[in-house]
Amino acid sequence: MFGLVDANSFYCSVEQVFDPALRGKAVVVGSNNDGCAIARSDQAKKLGVKMGQPLHEIPPHIRRQLHIRSANFGLYGDISGRVVGILRDLFPKVEVYSIDESFVEFPVGNRMEVAHEARSRIERWVGIPNCVGIGPTKTLAKMANKIAKAGAGIVDLADEGVRAAHLARFPVEDVWGVGRKFAARLGAEGIITAGDLVKADSETLRARYGVVLARTQAELQGVACSDLQEAEPDRQQIVCSRSFGREVVELEDVQQAVATFAINACEKLRKRSLQAGGVWVWLNTNPFKPDAPQYHPSKAMSLISASADTREVLRMAQALTRAMYRKGYRYKKAGVGLLDLTAGDSHQGDLFSGVDPRSAKLMEVLDAANRKFGRNAMSFASSAWREKTKPQWSMNQQHLSPAYTQKWSELLRVR
């Protein structure tokens, strides 16, 4: 039997853990640059703030009632780890599905009891309110969790009679695997609830919507098509991209942003002991200004041999950027992707140049220094790191909470 444990309004709940004055208030966490709402507390939802809604579209009289925080992903990741730790103590198998939800396997025995224990430990020990959904497939556990969010806290759909009653009432667009596009098409065919989807003809569904939705249907029927994935599969690509706080015009500024993203991406790459076979860079002007000249170039290139050396990736990223940059555009966003990832211990040699044995050592020293002395204690000049003035493109984060759990200097003070 599968369970899904999902934190309520996770990012907002984390902010409320460290700032009790926010509890019971309408809290909204904004995306990078404080652009959109990416999490809302119940009170903020009641005020009508929608997921992904641009904050500047919220009417002023509503906005005045909101407590806005800038996204503090380092903090959220840290708290997420503590929640997962509790789950690993209680369940034989745990699949960390996202930063705020995990699938678990229920051992034989009293499920309600274990679910209750998990739920209350997370709430008491970490301070994060959460719900538990239980079902014979992951899709049904997801559905159970959604139903639990309405108030019950824990919902078990193992019983077929109970399940049928819920399926008949559950909107098809809320089913895991049914997005906006599919929901609209299904609706036009008269498939409105999860129960309708269960009863639909499988062959027709497969032909019209593909195997993914056919699998979702099977899962809703109680046939498990997806098992717990305890070990995280190796990444296929690693991407780092940001919208700029301001539009940027000069090549040098664009290059600095791209360099910063490349450095970040390489750090993630080495953390997973992977190496990249290719590098991909793209630039974007501001799509929300359709009257301004638009340009969104994208270019990828293979490295001569797979590498995890930031210097090599930087060289390539800079060359790609130089090749794509055109004067006269106002750039708003850029990104760097690392492609064709392979395990760090396998290596396809290069016939002509060979591998510099000092490269791995140098990267080790770099990473160790940054672990010990803090992020970016040591970096690359091309990112304009350590410049006195903030770079042109840096993010707006006007409402950033402290790194309570990651920096000694920002530790919470209790009077």
Is residue 331 within 8 A of residue 244, CB to CB? The reply is: yes
Using CB under 7 A, pick the residue from 235, 322, 371, 407 that binds DNA: 235
Contact status: 32 vs DNA (CB under 7 A): yes
- Tell me which amino acid residue 228 is: L
Q: Which is nearer to DNA, 170 or 182 (CB)?
A: 182
Contact status: 176 vs DNA (CB under 7 A): yes
Q: Which is nearer to DNA, 289 or 361 (CB)?
A: 289
Tell me the window of 83-91, 119-127, 208-216, 405-413 that interacts with DNA (CB under 7 A).
208-216
Q: Which is nearer to DNA, 343 or 411 (CB)?
A: 343
Tell me the window of 83-91, 180-188, 250-258, 317-325 that interacts with DNA (CB under 7 A).
180-188
Binding string, residues 264-293; x marks residues near DNA by CB under 7 A: ----x-----------------x-x-----
Q: Minimum distance from CB of 155 to DNA (Å)?
A: 16
Contact status: 56 vs DNA (CB under 7 A): yes
Contact status: 217 vs DNA (CB under 7 A): no
Q: Which residue shows structure tokens 């309708």?
A: 196
Binding string, residues 240-259; x marks residues near DNA by CB under 7 A: xxxx--xx------------
Tell me the window of 28-36, 346-354, 357-365, 366-374 that interacts with DNA (CB under 7 A).
28-36
Q: Which is nearer to DNA, 110 or 237 (CB)?
A: 237
Q: Minimum distance from CB of 161 to DNA (Å)?
A: 26
Using CB under 7 A, pick the residue from 211, 323, 377, 412 that binds DNA: 211
Tell me how many residues contact DNA (CB under 7 A).
Answer: 46
Tell me the window of 112-120, 196-204, 219-227, 329-337 that interacts with DNA (CB under 7 A).
329-337
Q: How many CA atoms lie within 13 A of 318 on its CB side?
A: 17
Tell me the window of 85-93, 171-179, 187-195, 347-355 that interacts with DNA (CB under 7 A).
171-179
Is residue 148 within 8 A of residue 154, CB to CB? The reply is: yes
Binding string, residues 336-375; x marks residues near DNA by CB under 7 A: -x--------------------------------------
Footprint of DNA (CB under 7 A): 31-33, 35-36, 38, 52, 54, 56, 97-101, 142, 175-183, 210-212, 233, 235-243, 246-247, 268, 286, 288, 332-333, 335, 337
